[in-house]
A and B are shown apart, each in its own frame.
Chain A
Amino acid sequence: MTLGIKKARWFQTLLLFLAVLGPGIVTGSVDNDAGGITTYSVAGAQYGYHLLWTLFPAFIVLLVVQEMNARMGIVTGKGLADLIRENAGVKLTLLIFSGMLVVDIGNTMTEFAGVAGSLDIFGVSKYVSVPLTAVAVWFLVVKGTYKIAERIFLIFSAFLLTYVVSAILAKPDWGAVGTAIVHPDIQADSAYISMVIGLIGTTVAPWMQFYMQSSVIEKGLKLEDWKLTLADVAVGCLLTVVVAFFIMVACASTLHAHGIQIEKASDAARALAPLAGEAASFVFAGGLFVASVFAATILPVTTSFYICEAFGFEAGIDKTLRQAPQFYGLFTSILVIGVAIVLIPGIPLIRISLISQVINGLLLPIILVCMMLLVNDKEIMGKYVNGRFSNTVGWVTVGTLAILSLFLVGTTIFG
């Protein structure tokens, strides 16, 4: 009940629909943020259809990991940050969350670069679009209309499906797409490997594990709802991968076919115009803008929240600035630093986002190891510890990612 405000009926129906919408689908939608779109576009432009195969293992890993998070959330009723702090001790907790903070600043920067790039296509200067968006995001969170905003964003994130339209407008060679998936052309050079890590790292991002687990708890899901939860997680993962697939196809069939190399997602949008028509370009840019603002709101809030949760500071957007100074301090700092980096003229954004991706790649195996240990701990999970399938996929993923990440770090530092 909200006093004195007349809500239109369609709005109520919409809220009702979103109330039953599961955490898996939400997480899946937020996953395709500016960083994700960039990685998929660059992969498509650079390697054509040759990297499409990565989406299959990415889907399985995503599904297995998110299923574990949902199960841990339901069984323990505790967030991942909580469980890590309680079981891994202060030192590892500090390491993980310092890493999370750095990665998140990098991510936030990427989101604002996405805002700048997409609105630039519509003719708005980044010195206007970025500060305005940042101020809007800050007020949205601090003035507490965030939950409503989250739901509105979610509706807009249906716009991500416009990438399917973009891809079809680009008239891909479906035969070649099929061949590339069935007979993947796997290369062993460092550029190719770093692209693969980038793709998997952006699909299975560390913050998502925390987000997924907390939303399951917030929804009050129970073990009886398990099958529905699993279905929801699967649909969410599928959504992520399907959107990724079409972005890659769109860029592969246009940019790669004409030998155009890009570095940013907005380059892709711009490059689409002469090849697939202005409509495809605008659709691509619009999707990018929505995804960027969505993630630029959610990532800093959730990261600040998990850090505070782990270290025992008051947190939550229902608290006032005075009640939760660390929480709002962190949130504001992440936002300000992210925006400032984007606005510095001539700053090597690509280089910075690459470094943050490497840290991301290092962080992911550490968090996954923590998760695997937690989810197999009988004292925490009771009889709901991992089965053989989850353990096999989990440990193989951890091992592979760890080796690939170390390789990538090696080539970044010494190469």
Chain B
Amino acid sequence: MPQPTGTRSFFLSYLLETPLLLPSGAKVKLREVWATSDETPRIAFVTIKLKGETRRLLWDDLDLTKIDSGKYTLTARSEGTLSLQSTDDLVQLRKHLMDRQIVDLDGAKVVRVNDVRLAHVREGLFLVAVDVSFTAILRRLGMELLARKLFVGKVLPRYIPWSEVQAFVPSTGGAVRLASSADRLKTLHPSELADIIENLDVATQAAILDALDQDSMVDVIEEMEPEAQVTILSRMGVEKAADVLEQMDADEVADIIEDLPAQQAEDILQEMEGVASAEVRELLEYEDDQVGSLMSTEYLSFPDSTTAGEVLDTLRRERPDQEHALAVFALDSRQHLSTVVPLPELVMSDPESVLSDLGMERLVWVRDDAPISQVVEILGRYRSLAVPVLDENDHLVGAVTVDDVLDDLLKAGGKRLRG
């Protein structure tokens, strides 16, 4: 076993360049370096190729000696054993980590591994961090020193500690398994995770989504860009896609369905629960620029004789999504809209007061086939949080919230393109 004095650290790229001296006098280069896949991965063994055979050498049977400034030699105490099969729970540093994409959990983004930093201590050789800097590329091209001289102080490595790395290891049949710390991904915000997934290849996307429970998966998919939603759902298979879409709001589902190939869209709608798909189908009837295509069909309505206290009790019990609880709609005995009560007013008023006595003096609403610009204007002018949407028979069919409009404004104003 190598016996270093104190901690020394060096790079995988150096290790792969270091010649290994065998007892027979042959000098070979390392083909692969294998590490355990626990929290602090330890180098278990290396493989070499000798006379056309792949051989395995335990790291503990190797001596690593420093010869002069920065240079090392590796000496083996045995010729190694024949290695026929790979070991499934080990990570191949060259093949699975070097040059691959990983997730930087701390920065919440996808980065490429340009080198791997190893620490050499008495207990063995450990993987401590990955280097994602351009400096690492220069190092591997043998130009690091030159670059250092040219750009003093600007050429620095950028390490991501292994505890902050989520790596992916291909497994049989084109699938991908998550190398260690799989649970750390779940600590990311759904929108961060959505960004990350959009930047990965399909097999890895599937692996991450599969590792999430159904609810978190739906949250993540909801946060994705429309193009990515369509790609992911179309690869998911009809049944699974229908399950996911059933848990999303009908207005969002309608947006996605519209962009799917016609046959697939129809299959998914057939597969979805009757109520859910009927709602989506109704929304699909609207033109893109009509209020109906933007509105949410989930809203809170109560008879206008209900008291503020009763409404708040119901909200506490049912716990609707925040987005749908911005305002409640009160209906009169003929099921027509009588007033809109914003949540702040509801909270601040006397619990005994009935809904018909609350709300804005002037009832503001919008027709489902009106142009979207009209609802934007209303939200702006009256500073309301949610605007009720009525159909031609004056029946309440949905609501447009500031959230709906904000999302759309951001998408229309921001850049949503990919190269």
Contacts and interface: CB of A to CB of B under 8 A. Distances in A.
Interface of A: 1-7, 12, 19-20, 75-78, 82, 85-86, 89-91, 94, 143-147, 217-220, 222, 301-302, 304-305, 311-312, 315-318, 320, 327, 379, 382
A86 B415 contact: no
B99 interface: yes
B300 interface: no
Given A218-B227, A382-B173, A144 B234 contact: no
Contacts of B112: 85, 311-312
Interface stretch (B186-194, B312-320, B335-343, B371-379): B371-379
Contacts of A219: 231
B134 interface: yes
A218 B294 CA distance: 26
Interface pairs A-B: 7 shortest CB-CB? A312-B112, A77-B202, A144-B415, A220-B231, A305-B419, A77-B201, A78-B201
A82 B170 CA distance: 15
Nearest to B142: A91
A12 B132 CA distance: 43
Given A312-B114, A318-B418, A86 B99 contact: yes
Given A89-B99, A318-B418, A382-B174, A220 B137 contact: no
A324 to B, nearest CB: 10
Contacts of B230: 220
Contacts of A1: 255, 288-289, 293-294, 372, 408
A2 B418 contact: no
A219 B264 CA distance: 14
Interface string B344-374: 0000000000000000000000000001110
Contacts of B137: 90, 94, 311
B385 interface: no
Chain B binding surface, main DSSP class: helix
A317 B415 contact: yes
14 contacts: A1-B294, A2-B288, A3-B376, A3-B409, A76-B174, A77-B203, A77-B205, A90-B140, A147-B418, A220-B232, A220-B234, A311-B134, A312-B114, A327-B419
Contacts of A301: 419
Contacts of B27: none
A19 B137 CA distance: 39
Interface string B384-419: 000000000000000000000100110110111111
Contact of B416 (A305, A312, A318): A318
B142 to A, nearest CB: 9
Nearest to B290: A1
A7 B111 CA distance: 39
A90 B99 contact: yes
